[in-house]
Structure 1
Amino acid sequence: MSAAAFTLVMVPPLPDETLDWPDRLTDALPGIEVVRPERPEDVRTALARADAAYGTLAPELLGSAGRLRWLQAPQAGPPPGFYHPALVRHPVEVTNMRDTYTDHVAAHTMALVLALARQLPRYVRDQAAATWAPDWSDNAVIPLGEARALVVGAGAVGAETGRLLAAFGTRVEGIDPRVTTPPSGFDRVQPPDHLDRMLPWADIVVLTVPHTPRTEGLMDADRLASMKPGACLVNVGRGPTVRLDDLVAALDGGRLRGAALDVMEDEPLPPDHPLWRHPKALITPHVAGAGPHAAERRFEVLLDNARRFAAGQPLTNVVDKSQWF
């Protein structure tokens, strides 16, 4: 196959931000054919001759893609079911969108950490009730310059979060299955089998890990009970890593100072869920990645990988399909 001579199918449903992507891809890579089928019945026909695809391929669609060699996932952590057994078994190479929201997610994470450290959820509720109730006790705040943080997931987002925490004087350690060299600001990074011995050490536990077979239910009743009394939990990774019923019990029992969640086991979080009104909880609706340039960054990942695919070069952000990341 000559350079750039391949067919890429953009699989619906797709957001409007991608409408001009076929023209932009063909302008940048003469010879590439980009197909964006609008009708469901045309998707299978297009996939039958596709070398590459962008989007989500359910098992019935994957069965039509006999020539497929590369699939670009549209997200850093696709929703449950994306890595179905047929996709894991298929020889197609999958890449994702990791490291496209790093600055936004790390900034949001720090906002959540600071809010818990300075009791902002309590003061926001006091404001809504027009209640003047300052807390000047010694344990009113977590002094970040004296605190210890455990960042579970030291990839791009975790590394940037750790760097920002260290700028406040926080001692930072990490847990990661792949990262071994400590990123800037980290004292050290340890493998996942060290998690249980590190949880009692940390004043702040930040989860940035993806949803994988190994991280589902990672923070359950036992692990929450092993956290340091008065510690805070922040989750900006994926909702299924924290068992919400167990978290509510840990907050109710006084084990934890607070929890801040941008992601939930069930999204949207049901209106009657106790976390909405819990005095120790801070909830944001899966918006940590919000910020400018997101669509452009995703396009740049797709374009870079398209160039690499055309040239026969290694792709970026390759996923271990069996581990979903």
Structure 2
Amino acid sequence: MTGDRHLLVMLPPHDQRTAPWPARLESAVPAIRVVRPETREETIEALGRADAAYGALPAELLPYAGRLRWLQSPQAGPPPGFYYPELVRHPVRVTNMRDTYTDHVAAHTMALVLALARGLPRYTRDQLAPLWAPDWSPDAVIPLPEVRALIVGTGAVGAEVGRLLAAFGTEVEGIDARQTVAPPGFTRLHRPERLEARLPEADLVIVTLPHTPHTEGLINAERLALMKPTACLVNVGRGQTVRLDALTEALDKGRLRAAALDVFETEPLPAQHPLWRRPDVLITPHVAGAGPHADERRLAVLLDNAKRFTEGKPLINEVEKANWY
């Protein structure tokens, strides 16, 4: 603490959109003082006095943060390397920004699902040709009221996607490690160990998982081989959960109908990657969370947690550091 106030350090590099945040934080939470250092030297000096921090804390700076008790991640799923062993062992509590983009990500997911269901990737390519080639065959579309969706990860985003799909008449099942009650619209909720048993029954597999030690590479060649050749895969969670080489091979061999991806193992997806050129793949560049009010929602989480921290109350969105989420 500095005087009678807790010190929160906003860690560089800075996003200019957060420049007004220190003043807003100090106004809303008088018991907190906020500094926004620019240089490494200023950051080290501030961390020596800091009770809390916002941003990514590199391993080489952690030894300077002897007083640190709370670290707010600026993202729902921070990039690989955010949770390194020393940070996991450190007593600092970490919170994230999960659930701040639920409506945006769910809407984007439904856009991907509907695009695949109605064959829009093909018609988009035809438009560029230009080519008038309507397909009236019965199997040209996926009738959502007649299919089963398996949502892998039924947190806020997965639950909302399931609710929206159920409104189309789709039978929705879920897989989740934490949830114990099926969300509204879901017919069943299964434990992760049931994934292999449920994949062969699904027409749509929608992955909304965070990147954790347990989800990395979850959708691999073996699990893709369990899916129906008429099934579609959608990933809006984290790219590291789906092995792209295995997905490419499955598509090459006709083991899947199509895929829609917003996240990738490597981002940006390399220009030479074969998925770019596939007519059965729909790609968006990690924009599912795009939409209005994002900065205000992130600030609201930070403000709420700053107030809770100064009052000694439980923090929201606290992370199990060993599981990265």
Q: TM-score of the superposition, structure 1-length normalised?
A: 0.98
* 3-state SS, counterpart of residue 173 of structure 1: strand
Mapping 1:84-99, distance limit 5 Å: 84-99=84-99
2:109 pairs with 1:109? yes
Instruction: Determine the C-alpha separation between the residues in 1 that align with 2:30 and 2:6.
Output: 10
Where does structure 2 lack aligned partners over 5 or more consecutive residues?
A: none
- Report the Cα offset of residue 107 of structure 1: 0.1
Does the 8 A contact of 2:31 with 2:310 survive in 1? no
Instruction: Determine the C-alpha separation between the residues in 1 that align with 2:162 and 2:320.
Output: 25
| Aligned partner letter, 2:20 | D
Cα offsets for 1:54-113 (capped at 9, x unmatched):
000011111100000000000000000000111100010000000000000000000000
Give the match for residue 199 of structure 2.
199
Give the match for residue 175 of structure 1.
175
| Aligned partner letter, 1:229 | P
Give the match for residue 287 of structure 1.
287
* 3-state SS, counterpart of residue 63 of structure 1: helix
Give the match for residue 270 of structure 2.
270
* 3-state SS, counterpart of residue 322 of structure 1: helix
Instruction: Determine the C-alpha separation between the residues in 2 that align with 1:249 and 1:261.
Output: 16
Instruction: Determine the C-alpha separation between the residues in 1 that align with 2:178 and 2:14.
Output: 32
Instruction: Determine the C-alpha separation between the residues in 1 that align with 2:257 and 2:109.
Output: 17
* 3-state SS, counterpart of residue 79 of structure 2: coil
Cα offsets for 1:209-248 (capped at 9, x unmatched):
0111111111111111101121000000000111111101
Q: Which is worse superposed, 20-29 or 125-134?
A: 125-134
Give the match for residue 242 of structure 2.
242
Does the 8 A contact of 2:173 with 2:188 survive in 1? yes
| Aligned partner letter, 2:276 | W
- Report the Cα offset of residue 30 of structure 1: 1.2
Instruction: Determine the C-alpha separation between the residues in 1 that align with 2:252 and 2:133.
Output: 22
Instruction: Determine the C-alpha separation between the residues in 2 that align with 1:270 and 1:9.
Output: 35
| Aligned partner letter, 1:294 | A
- Report the Cα offset of residue 5 of structure 1: 2.6
Give the match for residue 46 of structure 1.
46
Give the match for residue 151 of structure 2.
151
| Aligned partner letter, 1:9 | V
Give the match for residue 35 of structure 2.
35
Does the 8 A contact of 2:201 with 2:228 survive in 1? yes
Instruction: Determine the C-alpha separation between the residues in 1 that align with 2:249 and 2:135.
Output: 25
Instruction: Determine the C-alpha separation between the residues in 2 that align with 1:257 and 1:307.
Output: 49
| Aligned partner letter, 1:42 | E
* 3-state SS, counterpart of residue 217 of structure 1: coil
Instruction: Determine the C-alpha separation between the residues in 1 that align with 2:5 and 2:140.
Output: 63
Instruction: Determine the C-alpha separation between the residues in 1 that align with 2:204 and 2:102.
Output: 20
Q: TM-score of the superposition, structure 2-length normalised?
A: 0.98
* 3-state SS, counterpart of residue 139 of structure 2: coil
| Aligned partner letter, 1:28 | A
Percent identity over the alignment is 70
Give the match for residue 257 of structure 1.
257
Does the 8 A contact of 2:234 with 2:261 survive in 1? yes
- Report the Cα offset of residue 31 of structure 1: 2.9
Give the match for residue 125 of structure 1.
125
